[in-house]
Structure 1
């Protein structure tokens, strides 16, 4: 069906259909064609992402795919009452020993050179407002539960744990605000192409190496560094430190972090995104099985809260941040 769509709408013949993580893809003539639904994105959003992708390719990134235009010149095509976008990239196999830190630093360096104003996918300077909004929404739900009997174990856990995570969120916001007041950003702190949630597997759509524009947002580079670190910690909280040290060494061999970058990164790690996402996912999930899994996840998050505090207390030393040289503030209560 997708082969026919590609041939009819784009004039491209593909041989084989494969699955790449959450996407369908087709291969043909040494090319990979990734089929995506626009997921509520408008033509203007796609035009901006296409311009960013073209810029990265022009600056030497061979893994930034092209947005293909259909025969009628649009980035979105309708086929059998469903909308699709098609991305094209040369088939590039995964490298066995890829230095992800160096590759991400180069990606960010290219992204900083974007020669036009990015508007639709920009998150620059928005963290404080977004965090406050999420906190406010969650506090409303929590207040609504306070004066009634909890319906289940999840609600009981949420009611008991929220004040602690509200305090952690306020710490993150304060650390962020202090950073913006205390420090003048350097040129390397300009916005760049980042990802919603960058992790070890973001570019590894086995067996191919792909940088998917639908993952991109325009933000400060510390977003990607923080989310990669968070995912590594939760992947294995016993051995994450070796990965983190190596990754930051690699990244900084290309692009050293400024005091502003370190502090922004740290504020993002303090923000308990894992807790927020667990609660938000629970209330937006209809499936009973899904809710049960999220209840177990919340219990685990709460049980491991003191471990997460140790992770926050140790992050600067583990990552090799020059704490004294750059005068990086610590959260004093973590050491009491």
Structure 2
């Protein structure tokens, strides 16, 4: 891989770890892609806009010696992205929400989100669950948690359906993220992690992954001047489970790998997530006119 990097990009590196290497204060990351050079060029136009607002914080594309984004390595299309190695703080994310609020009159499409969540639940129930091996204790334990998680997901869907019925005005969108597992530049400015959605999508990720606590979450919602519909969308986002769904999909895609440790880590994360959901839910039910979920009140 070192020779590939030198041949295509001119960097003479001694070591590559987990598809990345550091060079003169910058981190470079190699990723495979199925996109065309033209599509990456279009995405890079938006990255240029980001760089005008965030300068060296942004993750950006590196073109190869042939002035192209995509390089071929053993028939695999490869992209090289880079960013300056330095810390990033929550303020950068809040600034992103502010700058790109209503960017190009972007709106949240509730119908699309409902459809995507319904498709994922159907996929999990009808394709992924059926391949679990109940002679394996970890698979049996996972099944129980997935069934509970599906109940949470269905309640999250009901909140979205209620929103679609009760509030006719569309949500104004801003620049958010598919996932935020930690607060660093790769997570916040990776162009493939960016998506236009409601700001609460990010707040839910921050809360879910212990980047902010409940008090910080509520302070941010006040700062953003959330109304009831915004809180309801936030609650739906927090409710929709991730950890056990992700590992179930991984098992479906690679049935031969031993996921025992991953399963129990996901179950532990799910238990913690359920408690965070209950705390947020009770706080919202007490102070806002949001439809209650009876089974969350049981304990």
| Contact 2:173-2:199 at 8 Å conserved across structures | yes
The CA distance in 2 between the partners of 1:9 and 1:57, in whole Å, is 24
CA offset at residue 267 of structure 1?
0.5
For residues 222-247 of structure 1, what are the alpha-carbon distances to aligned partners after superposition, in whole Å with 9 as ceiling and x for unaligned? 22211221111xxxxxxx8x733235
Give the unaligned 5+ runs of structure 1.
233-239
CA offset at residue 276 of structure 1?
1.3
Report matched runs for 1:151-300 at 5 Å: 151-185=135-169, 189-203=171-185, 211-232=189-210, 243-246=213-216, 248-249=218-219, 253=223, 255-286=224-255, 288=257, 290-297=258-265, 300=268
Give the unaligned 5+ runs of structure 2.
none
Tell me which of 110, 120, 133 is aligned to 2:119: 133
Cα gap change, 1:113 to 1:308, in 2 (>3 Å):
closer
| Contact 2:128-2:252 at 8 Å conserved across structures | no
Tell me which of 45, 58, 70 is aligned to 2:64: 70
Q: Secondary structure at the match of 1:126?
A: helix
CA offset at residue 173 of structure 1?
0.6
The TM-score normalised by the length of structure 2 is: 0.78
- Aligned residue in 2 for 1:331: 293
Q: Does 1:314 align with 2:279?
A: yes
CA offset at residue 266 of structure 1?
0.8
Cα gap change, 1:113 to 1:131, in 2 (>3 Å):
closer
Q: Secondary structure at the match of 1:83?
A: strand
| CA-atom RMSD in angstroms | 3.8
* Higher share in helix: 2
The CA distance in 1 between the partners of 2:78 and 2:105, in whole Å, is 27
CA offset at residue 261 of structure 1?
2.7
Cα gap change, 1:62 to 1:249, in 2 (>3 Å):
farther
CA offset at residue 269 of structure 1?
1.5
Aligned residues between the structures: 298
Cα gap change, 1:180 to 1:44, in 2 (>3 Å):
farther
CA offset at residue 7 of structure 1?
5.3
Report matched runs for 1:30-49 at 5 Å: 32=26, 34-49=28-43
The TM-score normalised by the length of structure 1 is: 0.71
The CA distance in 2 between the partners of 1:260 and 1:23, in whole Å, is 42
The CA distance in 1 between the partners of 2:31 and 2:143, in whole Å, is 38
CA offset at residue 309 of structure 1?
4.5
CA offset at residue 88 of structure 1?
3.9
